[in-house]
Structure 1
Amino acid sequence: MSKSHSLHSFHSHHDYPEEFSSPSHLTSNSQSYYNSSTNYPSGEPWYSVERDPHPSLSQRFVDSFKRDPNRRTINPALNSTYHHGALDPHMAVIATANTALARKLKGRHLQMIAIGGSVGAGLFVTSGRMLHEGGPASVLIAFSLIGGMLFCTVHALGEMAVLYPVAGSFSAYSTRFLDPAWGFAMGWAYATQWLIVLPLEIVAASVTVGYWNTTLSRSIFVTIFLVLIISINLFGVKGYGEAEFLFSLVKIVAVIGFTILGIIINCAGNPNGGYIGGKFWVEPGPFNNSFKGLCSVLITASFAFAGTELIGLASAETANPRKSLPTAIKQVFWRITLFYVVSLTVVGLLVAHDDDRLFNESSANANGSASPFVIAIEDAGIAVLPSVMNAVILIAILSVGNSAVFGSTRTLAALADQGHAPKILGYVDRKGRPIVAIALASTVGFIAYSVESGQQGTVLNWMLSFSGLSSIFTWGSICLAHIRFRRAWALQGHSLNELAFVSQPGLVGSWVGFIFNVLVLVAQFWTGAWPINYGEIGVKGQMKSFFLAYLTAPVVLIMYGGYKYRYKTKVWRARDMDLQTGRREVNLDKLLKAEREEREEWPRWKRWYGLVC
């Protein structure tokens, strides 16, 4: 292959058809590249502008699913990520920067989206299993460590997302700052995770309804919940944002209410006794299953936090990411950490880790009866609140299912834009919806009907094993991409003063986050190959446990190696990285200077508040 067709060439010497060549030789970094219309040789624009001035309601509905020709501003003849059979990563960068997704999300939506994606069954139900396996002290240590790691990761993501609010976010950053092959592997692992989470959450929701009614067929509720989630996402990103805002508001109120109630119960006691205090930390004790119990809880806690990174994925659909993202990034971490750490501290004081109700096989798929929150309220003898708490659990599960459609469809559309997935998945209609990707996610959701087979746990567990570690790979990739981005930023003569948002833990935080994710992978290998009860389950049981826990790793490595072999991709060199394409602000330097001067006039309390919130 000649040098002019090099995989990592950023120059304008690609052999495009002459009739589509720009006479002014604009590059993707030229402002007029995106602002100017592109014409065919006949002089006519490549899009049609003829529209019926008074279409009927049914016609408007049908037309909403058609592609909006005016939403993308680059010539579609150039919108190809492959030339001469080789991947052109520069065109992949342009495609994600030139997303057709609608930009309708506000700051309040962003703050709730991260909460909605991560505060679900992991907090309300799976925490019971964690308490059973590791004890209350292990739960607090694990969530504190994962919370600290995510502080570093989310800030690294925020720094890049504010500067480059592009489609695909972290999967696009892997393609852009690491290796296109890794962007392919990590992007598909992340999309698969959320595709599988949708039927998993719908099954969990249908099982949760069994707390009130065990006679009706669960398929009825599967249908209701599936239609509800699909309908919300058909309203576009604004509908998704409003739904998550309401869902998350319910969860926030519930967690705060439970925390206050839990403190009262702990101090006042329950009908079976007086003051509880810390007696469950004395007997049966703060830990269970020693260090392996702590490692097991650490891994489960990392899965419980999955979805926090959705805020980066939403940046491409945010009206003003430079204003909205920094506030959301800083506030979301504190909210999630406080919700998990404070509420689970209260739970650990009210429920003993050897309580048989915490983990039983019949309720492993998120039955509210296994929730330590419900158990704590039941033990207090409060008649109505257990049902109320179970309703909150149901809303939380549906919220995560809603986030699953958003996360999977946006990642699939971005993968298609980069040439990493079938092009049809990148189809975006006039409402800014990746409608084909939504159809695919909805189709996968029908797997939830396996709930009637009696083997839904087995089916979904094996499906989840294909993507169980994808969040760890995603977070590690974000940290590593930030490290490489900072290297290129400095090497190409830029300073941190040019960034609209700077990660508070900086490069040190990204290294801490990356190393911690590697350690979680090591811990997962150990607890998967030698689980807590490995002496009882035998060799066959150990092999099953290992593949359920670690199947994602070989799948991701095979995708990475296969793609790298097929397209001969290379790891980016810092001096060759494109640091311009995708930057939405035109006069950013002047804007930042004016804002810094304004902040200098703030009182001290306001400057401190702006630092942490």
Structure 2
Amino acid sequence: MDENGNDGNGQVKRGLKARHVSMIALGGCIGTGLFVASGSAISQAGPLGALTAYFFMGMMVYFLMTSLGEMATNMPISGSFAAYSAKYVDPALGFAMGWNYWFNWAITVAVDISTAALVMAFWLPNIPQWIWSAIALVIILSINAMSVRAFGETEFWMSLIKVVTIIIFLGVGCLTIFGIMGGHFIGLRNFSIKQAPFVGGFPAILSVFVVAGFSFQGTELVGITAGESQDPQHSVPKAINEVFWRIILFYILTIFVIAAIIPYTSHSLLGSSTTDIAISPFTLVFQRAGLAAAASIMNAVILTSVISSANSGMYASTRMLYSLSNSGYAPKRFGKTAANGIPYYALIATTVVSLLTFISSIAGPKIYMWLVAASGLTGFIAWFGIAISHYRFRRAFVKQGHDLKELKYHAKLFPFGPILCLILCILVIVGQNPSAFMHFDWTQILVTYISVPLVLVLYFGYKLKKHTKIIPLEKVDISPSHEEEDLSKLNDN
């Protein structure tokens, strides 16, 4: 280790194995959005309405992942989104995307440790919730401080728990549909009751796009891990190629089973967007099948999911701050690494922000609400940045006379993929709360959309200060050989 605390070259270590990357890609898209909020999607849009929304959102996420895979295998770096936006579009966009993503996950860690306390209250309601939140934060900080392999192993096993739960759920659900469990045949009759299979038309499907979009957020973590993967040219494409089938299996089939067993008119589904584990659609299906301990089992799984989300959030935000430092967008101190390859200053800074956000949830609920609102759309904004970066990367690659065979991984159906992602991201962002505009409710508009002007302020503020311009395609640096610290040179252009 040198005098600055680096491990010899100031770089994070490539400690993630292929199985870690694969499971992180899978675990990133399985969370409380599927375990708890999926029921509200069915109640809003009906069985086929929810399936339609999840299918199109899943297709968008798949194309987004292939776009990310093409760039990540060409230039595998830790905290890649800001770097790709800076290299392929505009340094100002890299600055805005990076700080946007870091802020999003730093706030999400605080939200998740608060949620972990709510989940623990299911078993131990008399213990103060802040104690459970403090324990969760210490556990997450410890895992991220040890090594990237410790993070990878933890995520592997927590993701495996979620995967096994869904597989068991699908098996129990199918047996229940055919009457083998639960005592009577259900079939597809819930697909045709009242207004089913479609309820509420396109506006309802659009509202479910929002729910589905939040459910899928986290899949882009595989791009963050590329810089610490032992073999990114192999592990990243493998993980991404598996995402499509996993989305079909773990989302489409899950929504189908829930919709078949529980009618969209069920009052339990209407409340399933809350943290009440007793009305999780998974719990309801297990109870229909006659499993008495369903609530406790699902509570344990959801606790695992929440801890996994916070763990991933701490990792993602730390690596993004590290990347911002090496790109010249954040103080150099955050780019220092310890002997084990962990960017400890970035980890401490992220922990402090998460802790302050959590404290505000106790001392100042209004401040906490605004912080959470400010991070609400940042995931979709990050996806927008990935899509436009890939579109520009591929166009620059061809314009500069390169053969696509030179790429280690090819994104599917270019340019359809990134264009579809751009359109759906804009649609979801605009469709967050259209009724607020209809009623000119400026408070709701600000709470819902505050992350959009924040990103615009970051983008144009940096642009005006550094006088950056959108990089012409013929001058875009598509070389895979440049390390991420070279990105700071873009600030001088």
1:570 is aligned to 2:489: no
User: Using the alignment, how far apart are the partners of 2:7 and 2:286 within structure 1?
Assistant: 55
Q: Report the CA distance shift for 1:525/1:564 in structure 2 as closer, same or farther (over 3 A).
A: farther
The runs of 5 or more residues in structure 1 that have no matched partner are 1-46, 50-65, 73-99, 531-537, 585-613
| Equivalent in the alignment of 2:486 | none
Q: Report the CA distance shift for 1:378/1:513 in structure 2 as closer, same or farther (over 3 A).
A: same
Deviation at 1:459, TM superposition (A): 5.2
Deviation at 1:267, TM superposition (A): 1.5
User: Using the alignment, how far apart are the partners of 2:217 and 2:379 within structure 1?
Assistant: 6
| Equivalent in the alignment of 1:255 | 166
Match of 2:156 among 239, 245, 253: 245
Deviation at 1:435, TM superposition (A): 0.8
| Equivalent in the alignment of 2:399 | 491
User: Using the alignment, how far apart are the partners of 2:436 and 2:321 within structure 1?
Assistant: 29
| Equivalent in the alignment of 1:500 | 408
| Equivalent in the alignment of 2:247 | 336
Deviation at 1:562, TM superposition (A): 1.0
* TM-score (structure 1 length as normaliser): 0.74
User: Using the alignment, how far apart are the partners of 1:239 and 1:367 within structure 2?
Assistant: 31
Q: In the alignment, residue 141 of structure 2 is paired with which amino acid?
A: I
The runs of 5 or more residues in structure 2 that have no matched partner are 484-493
Q: Which aligned pairs between 1:370-385 and structure 2 lie closer than 5 A? A: 370-385=279-294
Counterpart secondary structure, 1:188: helix
Deviations 1:544-598 (A, max 9, x none): 43223211111111111111111110000111122225368xxxxxxxxxxxxxx
| Equivalent in the alignment of 2:185 | 275
The percentage of counterpart residues that share the same residue type is: 35
Q: Which aligned pairs between 1:178-577 and structure 2 lie closer than 5 A? A: 178-268=89-179, 274-284=184-194, 285-360=196-271, 366-446=275-355, 447-449=357-359, 460-524=368-432, 526=434, 529-530=437-438, 542-577=441-476
Q: Report the CA distance shift for 1:138/1:430 in structure 2 as closer, same or farther (over 3 A).
A: same
User: Using the alignment, how far apart are the partners of 2:72 and 2:206 within structure 1?
Assistant: 32
Contact kept in structure 1, 2:176 and 2:288, CA below 8 Å:
no
User: Using the alignment, how far apart are the partners of 2:436 and 2:280 within structure 1?
Assistant: 24
* TM-score (structure 2 length as normaliser): 0.92
Q: In the alignment, residue 469 of structure 1 is paired with which amino acid?
A: L
User: Using the alignment, how far apart are the partners of 2:316 and 2:336 within structure 1?
Assistant: 16
User: Using the alignment, how far apart are the partners of 1:560 and 1:383 within structure 2?
Assistant: 53
Q: Report the CA distance shift for 1:525/1:127 in structure 2 as closer, same or farther (over 3 A).
A: same
Q: In the alignment, residue 574 of structure 1 is paired with which amino acid?
A: L
Contact kept in structure 1, 2:26 and 2:243, CA below 8 Å:
yes
Contact kept in structure 2, 1:269 and 1:276, CA below 8 Å:
no
| Equivalent in the alignment of 2:491 | none
Q: Report the CA distance shift for 1:154/1:144 in structure 2 as closer, same or farther (over 3 A).
A: same
User: Using the alignment, how far apart are the partners of 1:270 and 1:318 within structure 2?
Assistant: 44
Contact kept in structure 2, 1:159 and 1:501, CA below 8 Å:
yes
Deviations 1:169-204 (A, max 9, x none): 121000000011111111111111111110111111
Contact kept in structure 2, 1:292 and 1:527, CA below 8 Å:
no
User: Using the alignment, how far apart are the partners of 2:16 and 2:246 within structure 1?
Assistant: 20
User: Using the alignment, how far apart are the partners of 1:274 and 1:526 within structure 2?
Assistant: 42
| Equivalent in the alignment of 1:595 | none
User: Using the alignment, how far apart are the partners of 1:465 and 1:411 within structure 2?
Assistant: 21
Q: Which gives a bigger RCO, structure 1 or 2 (Cα 8 Å, sep 6+)?
A: 2
Instruction: Tell me how many residue pairs correspond in the alignment.
Output: 481
Deviation at 1:347, TM superposition (A): 0.9
Q: Report the CA distance shift for 1:461/1:146 in structure 2 as closer, same or farther (over 3 A).
A: farther
Contact kept in structure 2, 1:230 and 1:442, CA below 8 Å:
yes
Contact kept in structure 2, 1:207 and 1:365, CA below 8 Å:
no
